[in-house]
Amino acid sequence: MKISKKSEYALRALACMGAPGAPNVLSIQEIARRGRIPKKFLEQVLLALKRVGLVQSTRGKAGGYTLSGDPQTISLQTVVWAVDGPLVPLPCVADANPAKCADCASLEYCWLRSIMLEVGEAIAAAFARVSVAEMCQRAEASRRHESHVPMYDI
């Protein structure tokens, strides 16, 4: 299972906003630069996050985006679901309007569906266990490690 680019960019944007020492308000240009996210795509992502109340925007010269809540209480599941909706391994596992797979005789008696329901629940639980704060800590640790990688120029 793979999350969408939109979800990946949402996670990167929140990692920028929640990074240790990050300014309270970051411009869209700064988030795009820090997160290596195309600005045009970032606008769509931030609007989706704003719609569900995960970020707030401020207009004006000193305007930009900020996290709406405590990064400790925002799970990665909340972020991904805000952008893409629930992650489902097969269409028959969707909470809303489950659709029978093309070669399946019945949703009710499908052996594969029962397994995929368990897989979907495990994935959701894994996303729910990680907070934006933890993601930011891991991102910062990675940045520190990258800055100590020796460069060999010839």
CATH of the domain spanning 5-147: 1.10.10.10
Could you tell me whether strands 55-58 and 64-67 are parallel, antiparallel, or unpaired per DSSP bridges?
antiparallel
Distances (CA, A) of 108 to 98, 100, 111: 11, 10, 9
Domain ranges of the chain: 5-147
Please name the residue that has the structure tokens 């995960």. Answer: 54
Predicted confidence band at 7 (pLDDT cuts at 50, 70, 90)?
Answer: very high
> Phi/psi zone of residue 60: left (φ > 0), alpha (ψ -120 to 50 degrees), beta?
left
Summarised one tens digit per residue, pLDDT across range 33-92 is: 999 999 989 999 999 999 999 999 989 888 899 999 889 999 999 999 999 888 888 887
Give the residue with greater pLDDT, 105 vs 13: 13
pTM as predicted? 0.82
* Confidence check: pLDDT of 138 > 80: yes
Give the dihedral of Cα atoms 51, 54, 58, 59; nearest 10 deg: -30
